[in-house]
Amino acid sequence: MSANGSKILAFGHYQPSRVVTNDDLAQMVDTNDEWIQSRVGIKERRIADTETVADMAGFAAEKALAASGLTAADIDLVIVATCSSIDRSPNVACRVADKLGVAGAAAFDLNTACSGFSYALANADHAIRAGAAKHALVIGAEKLSQITDWSDRSTCVIFADGAGAAVVSATAEGEEPGVGPVVWGSEPSDAIAIEGWQPYIVQEGQKVFRWATGTAPQVALAACEKAGVAPGDLGGFVPHQANLRIIEPLARKIGVDPAVLSRDIIESGNTSAASIPLALSKMIERGEVKSGSPVLLVGFGGGLTYAGQVVRCP
């Protein structure tokens, strides 16, 4: 049966325990804490040890599922956004379904790099609206450390590992949708490339910075407009944690209260498709976003791709 819309029931996240500081990186490449903090805003990041993308996705999904009040038997769709999984088949979504004991669900991976979670969430929302699913696990998970060139000081200080997950369910009849209309698109460019074998992330930093500072505000404002929410009324703003120098001016430009902006990049680095659900899950855990308040998600990155939507905080 089709539904009027979907809503997020719960979030969960996972971060590896190993903390890598800027000083640690300064031992490996020619960089320093002051440069990294002033250019990117990162103080430390988490780097996985033996955990795979599927392991981290599974841990985050397990927490989200437990917090949602549903069980594995309820889930009929699993979508994993990732651009760093080395194992191609079974895909990460099937591996997560297997770990959690989800049987018979539609399960697929989706790669739009850093905008992945917002794309995946839109896909789940659309599937639920169409009646193709009722309860979905939507996950962003990355092990960027395995596709990072650890001798490239322009990228190895930025990227990190982690996962975030959401349980998304059909709204009841007459209930207001909790996942707003998506604004998405692409502007093909190789400014962020993960190519060949062995693939490493190669980024033209200034080009990406320019594109992001120009594009992200438009996506953010369009997503707010489609949802009928004024930026000043947002209870949370979770842009992809790309660079503090991108997200702080972005919040200012669109008129969001700086107090509701997620700055998880400071302690987590840039975790691509995982960054949005990871950051929002942590904000919710710390009690920083009120249940029911509108939260703007804006993903942007490799492709180049972008996607954004306003969601109601579970």
Partner 1 sequence: MATREEVVTGLAEILEEVAGVNPDDVSEEKSFTEDLDVDSLSMVEVVVAAEEKFGAKIPDDEVQNLKTVGDAVSFIVANS
- Tell me the closest approach of the beta carbon of residue 213 to partner 1, in angstroms: 6
Q: Is 246 helix (H, G, I), strand (E, B) or coil?
A: helix
Asked if residue 210 binds partner 1 (CB under 8 A), the reply is yes
Interface of this chain with partner 1, residues 179 to 208, rule: CB under 8 A: 205-207
Q: Is 135 part of the annotated catalytic residue set?
A: no
Site for partner 1 (CB under 8 A): which residue of 52, 213, 218, 293? 213
The residues, ordered by sequence, that sit 6+ positions from 104 with a Cβ below 8 Å of its Cβ are: 76
Asked if residue 218 binds partner 1 (CB under 8 A), the reply is no
The residues, ordered by sequence, that sit 6+ positions from 88 with a Cβ below 8 Å of its Cβ are: none
Strand partners, 192: 203
- Tell me the closest approach of the beta carbon of residue 218 to partner 1, in angstroms: 13
Q: Are 311 and 8 in contact (CB under 8 A)?
A: yes
Q: Is 111 part of the annotated catalytic residue set?
A: no
Q: How far is CA 63 from CA 171, 193, 201, 281, 285, in A?
A: 21, 32, 30, 10, 12
Q: Cα–Cα distance between 132 and 91 in angstroms, integer?
A: 20
Q: Cα–Cα distance between 7 and 196 in angstroms, integer?
A: 38
Which of the following is catalytic: 13, 83, 94, 114?
114
**Closest among 51, 47, 52 to 87, alpha carbons compared:** 52
- Tell me the closest approach of the beta carbon of residue 175 to partner 1, in angstroms: 42
Asked if residue 209 binds partner 1 (CB under 8 A), the reply is yes
- Tell me the closest approach of the beta carbon of residue 248 to partner 1, in angstroms: 11
Asked if residue 38 binds partner 1 (CB under 8 A), the reply is yes
Q: Is 4 part of the annotated catalytic residue set?
A: no
Site string for partner 1, 237-266 (x = CB under 8 A): ------x-x---x-----------------
Which of the following is catalytic: 13, 94, 270, 313?
270
Q: Cα–Cα distance between 187 and 206 in angstroms, integer?
A: 16
**Which residues are marked as active site?**
114, 240, 270
- For binding to partner 1 (CB under 8 A), which residues are involved? 38-39, 205-207, 209-210, 213-214, 243, 245, 249
